[in-house]
């Protein structure tokens, strides 16, 4: 098989785990009314059930870093698929709110694993010249899974009464996560282990075999020498990343993750029907709104994949966050005015522009950057600290937005526009460009330029 085709098939297989992640996080949005009716929930109870998976996400990220560096990427992929499958079956059988919440937390654990594993794995197996586009498959997988969840929810709900959805339909929606999870479990059998992880474990022959199969003989030899040279210097633990000279990289990654979460994407994705209704747009179904939004997610992600390795990470993120801020500001102008017509369609256009811009920049490029920043030995554990800030920010936004909307009304959108402006300044000042560099070159540039070369490696194992 052609090496380039083989590489892309491996990365696509890994991205199926991202699709399961996207499906699992989004499928719950179509069940909220049915769950309220079935379990007789008050608004706080609905919010607890809908947001419970995020608790599992945080736990999954906390565990995934260490487990990934210990067990390897491939075994952890299998674990995430099994967790998704178990969660889907448990959701279908849940007899109480407590059981359903526990099942959703379990699924969130799989989301936490996948959110860390997929970009790391793809980055470690890809050559520098196409790594950005291939890591972007992670975001493409997420948004494809989200859109698939919206479509499946609409298909399951077709022709069914509200009572049928409350009695049985929501169970089918949540159980459907098991289908892509089962597919991914089969694909894991054909995926090679990360060559950088194999090299770190002393399995040099296996690592070289993977590199030859993916990159060819000449590039495999070069990659092997660079990986070996880097691993020979790696003697530190993760707390070394907070030492003078290197802690700035860690703090930058954490802050970038937080901005990915708090610049407004969850407001749009979870509350789009209410936003549209506020301006009198007569779209017949909330599920239809979500499908339109899902298509905008996919288009934005695919557009980014075509240019991320040509334009670079920084320019794309700067352009995207600027467009996000402008969109949020215009949404603040339109929100709550009602009456449909130009105001209504103006709100729709601004919402879709925001979704497109987010996935063109922050949505996908964040995963590219965070997968490139850290040394091989602690890449999983260090990346997990960054991703925890992402899920923590998501949780805060989902929890507080209804209250913020009640207090600030349309001004809440101006607030998010301001957050986008702060994010723009942060990225301009602190986020480095990693386009076209090997992971080893990125490590040397970021951690060794200031004369504190030993900072990452100073503490003995």
- Over residues 347-368, mean pLDDT: 85
Residue 286 has pLDDT above 60, yes or no: no
47 neighbors 59 (Cβ within 8 angstroms): no
CA of residue 433 relative to chain centroid, distance: 20
66 neighbors 117 (Cβ within 8 angstroms): no
pLDDT of 104 reads 92
- Over residues 245-253, mean pLDDT: 74
Expressed in angstroms, the distance from the first to the final Cα of the chain is 41
Among the listed residues 255, 235, 232, the one whose alpha carbon sits nearest the alpha carbon of residue 455: 235
111 neighbors 199 (Cβ within 8 angstroms): no
204-215 as b/e: b if 16+ CB within 10 A: eeebbebbbbbb
pLDDT of 266 reads 77
- What rounded mean pLDDT belongs to the chain? 79
- Give the separation between CA 342 and CA 334, rounded to whole angstroms: 10
More confident residue, 334 or 241: 334
- Looking up tokens 């101006």 gives 414
Residue 215 has pLDDT above 60, yes or no: yes
| CATH 1.20.1250.20 residue spans of the chain | 1-191, 240-461
Percentage of the chain modeled with pLDDT above 70: 81
- Over residues 176-184, mean pLDDT: 93
291 neighbors 153 (Cβ within 8 angstroms): no
* CATH number, span 1-191: 1.20.1250.20
280 falls in which pLDDT band (50, 70, 90)?
Answer: low
- Give the separation between CA 262 and CA 129, rounded to whole angstroms: 31
- Over residues 435-458, mean pLDDT: 56
- Give the separation between CA 213 and CA 200, rounded to whole angstroms: 19
pLDDT of 187 reads 94
pLDDT of 418 reads 94
Element (H, E) at 195: helix 195-200
460 falls in which pLDDT band (50, 70, 90)?
Answer: very low
Eight-state DSSP code of residue 169: I
- Give the separation between CA 164 and CA 449, rounded to whole angstroms: 63
- Give the separation between CA 47 and CA 32, rounded to whole angstroms: 9
SS3 at position 8: helix
Eight-state DSSP code of residue 280: T
Eight-state DSSP code of residue 418: H
Among the listed residues 198, 135, 188, 182, the one whose alpha carbon sits nearest the alpha carbon of residue 13: 188
Per-residue pLDDT reduced to its tens digit, 293-345: 888 888 888 888 788 888 888 899 999 999 999 999 998 887 756 554 455 66
- Give the separation between CA 415 and CA 274, rounded to whole angstroms: 18
Q: What is the largest CA-CA distance in the chain?
A: 68
pLDDT of 378 reads 62
Q: How many CB atoms lie within 10 A of CB 71?
A: 14
Residue 244 has pLDDT above 70, yes or no: no
When mean pLDDT is compared over 223-227, 419-423, 452-456, the highest value belongs to 419-423
379 falls in which pLDDT band (50, 70, 90)?
Answer: low
More confident residue, 62 or 189: 189
Pick the CATH number of 240-461 from 3.40.50.150, 3.40.50.2300, 1.20.1250.20, 3.40.50.300: 1.20.1250.20
78 falls in which pLDDT band (50, 70, 90)?
Answer: very high
More confident residue, 239 or 423: 423
More confident residue, 213 or 344: 213
Residue 245 has pLDDT above 70, yes or no: no
């Amino acid at each position: 098989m052609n090496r380039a085709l083989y590489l892309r098939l491996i990365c696509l297989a890994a991205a199926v785990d991202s699709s399961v992640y996207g499906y699992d996080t989004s499928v719950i949005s179509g069940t909220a009314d049915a769950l309220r009716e079935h379990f007789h929930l008050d608004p706080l109870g609905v919010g607890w059930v809908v947001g419970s998976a995020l608790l599992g996400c945080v736990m999954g990220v906390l565990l995934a870093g260490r487990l990934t560096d210990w067990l390897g990427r491939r075994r952890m992929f299998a674990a995430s698929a099994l967790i998704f499958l178990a969660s889907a079956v448990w959701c279908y059988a849940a007899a109480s709110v407590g059981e359903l919440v526990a099942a959703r937390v379990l699924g969130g654990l799989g989301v936490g694993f996948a959110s860390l594993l997929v970009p790391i794995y793809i980055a470690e197996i890809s050559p520098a010249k196409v790594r950005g586009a291939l890591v972007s498959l992670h975001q493409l997988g997420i948004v494809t899974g989200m859109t698939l969840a919206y479509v499946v929810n609409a298909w399951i709900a077709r022709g069914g009464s509200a009572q049928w959805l409350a009695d049985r339909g929501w169970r089918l929606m949540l159980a459907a996560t098991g289908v892509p999870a089962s597919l991914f479990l089969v694909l894991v059998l054909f995926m090679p282990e990360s060559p950088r992880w194999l090299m770190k474990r002393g399995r040099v022959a296996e690592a070289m075999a993977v590199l030859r199969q993916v990159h060819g003989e000449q590039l495999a030899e070069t990659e092997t020498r660079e990986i070996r040279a880097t691993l020979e210097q790696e003697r530190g633990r993760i707390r070394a990343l907070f030492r003078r000279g290197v802690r700035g990289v860690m703090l930058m990654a954490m802050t970038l993750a937080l901005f990915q979460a708090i610049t407004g994407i969850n407001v749009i994705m979870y509350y789009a029907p209410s936003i549209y209704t506020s301006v009198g747009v007569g779209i017949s179904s909330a599920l239809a709104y979500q499908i339109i939004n899902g298509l905008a997610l996919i288009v934005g992600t695919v557009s980014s994949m075509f240019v991320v390795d040509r334009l670079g990470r920084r320019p794309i993120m700067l352009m995207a966050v600027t467009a996000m801020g402008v969109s949020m500001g215009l949404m603040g102008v339109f929100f709550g005015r009602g009456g449909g017509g130009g105001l209504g369609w103006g709100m729709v256009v601004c919402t879709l522009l925001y979704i497109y811009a987010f996935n063109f920049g922050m949505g996908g490029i964040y995963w590219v950057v965070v997968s490139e920043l850290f040394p091989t030995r602690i890449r999983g554990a260090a990346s997990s600290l960054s991703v925890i800030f992402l899920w923590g920010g998501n949780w805060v936004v989902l929890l507080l937005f209804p209250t913020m909307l009640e207090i600030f009304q349309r001004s809440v959108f101006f607030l998010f526009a301001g957050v986008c402006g702060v994010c723009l300044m942060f990225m301009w000042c602190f986020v480095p460009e990693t386009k076209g560099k090997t992971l080893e070159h990125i490590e040397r540039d970021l951690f060794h330029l200031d004369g504190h070369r030993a900072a990452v490696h100073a503490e003995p194992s």
